[in-house]
Amino acid sequence: MNEHWDGIGFTSQRTRERLIQRLRAMGIRDERVLTAMLNIPRHVFVDEALASRAYEDTALPIGHSQTISQPYIVARMTEALLAGRELRRVLEIGSGSGYQTTILAALVDEVYSVERIEPLLRLARRRLQDLGYRNFRFRLDDGGAGWPEYAPFDGILVTAAAAELPQALCSQLAPDARLVIPVGNGAQQQLELITRTAEGYRREQLEMVNFVPLVRNER
């Protein structure tokens, strides 16, 4: 059958497998991350008009001047956050489409996700529900302050670029927990990995990335 004529061709298993092959070729090794990305349908998280491009390795617009992150970056950040471990409680800042939230929900016990744009949050919540996930909680707020009520977290993932490392997020890390965050205020930012250690925090630079800015709410 012609893949593009069967109505679901663009989103077929074969199309998704090609994306996973590409992620492998780009150095993603964590099989749990690759399996989650194979199984979770990314086209559900973008507008129907863009569904045919959902399995390209590219960021796509989701309205409100925001984007769903490039699959490679989602994989890279998730792999760095997990570091091959089982995580119980994870915080995400910047729910956006809810795609990264869903990948996390498939891999950890509980996901807490903060988003400042209400229509995006509502859509994200409905997508996770429709896909059958129950282990998540959303909050409409400025994520720069984290989510103190549920801290400490075994991992924190920020999907918008912070001009500086938010101290509130560091302080909500459990011992040995990791924070993955793009830092910088230029067009490109440094993806950083912060680990809470017995002595304080270890700070490592992973690679250059391209995120929308983490906006500070006016209060």
Region from 3-11, 31-39, 112-120, 178-186 binding ligand SAH, contact rule CB under 6 A: 112-120
Asked if residue 120 binds ligand SAH (CB under 6 A), the reply is yes
Query: 8 Cβ partners below 8 Å, 6+ apart?
Result: none
Burial class of residue 175 (count of CB atoms within 10 Å of its CB; 0-12, 13-18, 19+): exposed
Asked if residue 209 binds ligand SAH (CB under 6 A), the reply is no
Region from 16-24, 33-41, 137-145, 186-194 binding ligand SAH, contact rule CB under 6 A: 137-145
Instruction: Work out how close the CB of 44 gets to ligand SAH at its nearest, in angstroms, rounded to a whole number.
Output: 12
Contact with ligand SAH (CB under 6 A): which of 11, 52, 66, 210? 66
d(CA 55, CA 108): 23
Query: 217 Cβ partners below 8 Å, 6+ apart?
Result: 116, 141, 142
Indicate the residue among 114 and 180 with the shorter CB distance to ligand SAH: 114
Contact with ligand SAH (CB under 6 A): which of 15, 78, 97, 172? 97
d(CA 207, CA 141): 28
Instruction: Work out how close the CB of 43 gets to ligand SAH at its nearest, in angstroms, rounded to a whole number.
Output: 13
Asked if residue 12 binds ligand SAH (CB under 6 A), the reply is no
Asked if residue 159 binds ligand SAH (CB under 6 A), the reply is yes
Asked if residue 67 binds ligand SAH (CB under 6 A), the reply is yes
d(CA 114, CA 53): 27
Which residues share a beta bridge with 93? 114, 158
**Catalytic residue list contains 65:** no
Asked if residue 184 binds ligand SAH (CB under 6 A), the reply is no
Q: Which of 12, 52, 65, 69 is catalytic?
A: 69
Contact with ligand SAH (CB under 6 A): which of 23, 75, 76, 143? 143
Which residues share a beta bridge with 189? 209
- Number of residues near ligand SAH (by CB under 6 A): 23
Distances from the Cα of 210 to the Cαs of 27, 124, 142, 154, 217, in angstroms?
A: 19, 22, 21, 25, 21
Kindly report the number of other CB atoms within 10 A of residue 89's CB atom: 19
Asked if residue 212 binds ligand SAH (CB under 6 A), the reply is yes
Q: Are 125 and 119 in contact (CB under 8 A)?
A: no
For the annotated catalytic residues, the residue numbers are 69
Which residues are at the interface with ligand SAH (CB under 6 A)? Answer: 66-69, 93-94, 96-97, 99-100, 114-117, 120, 142-144, 159-160, 212, 214-215
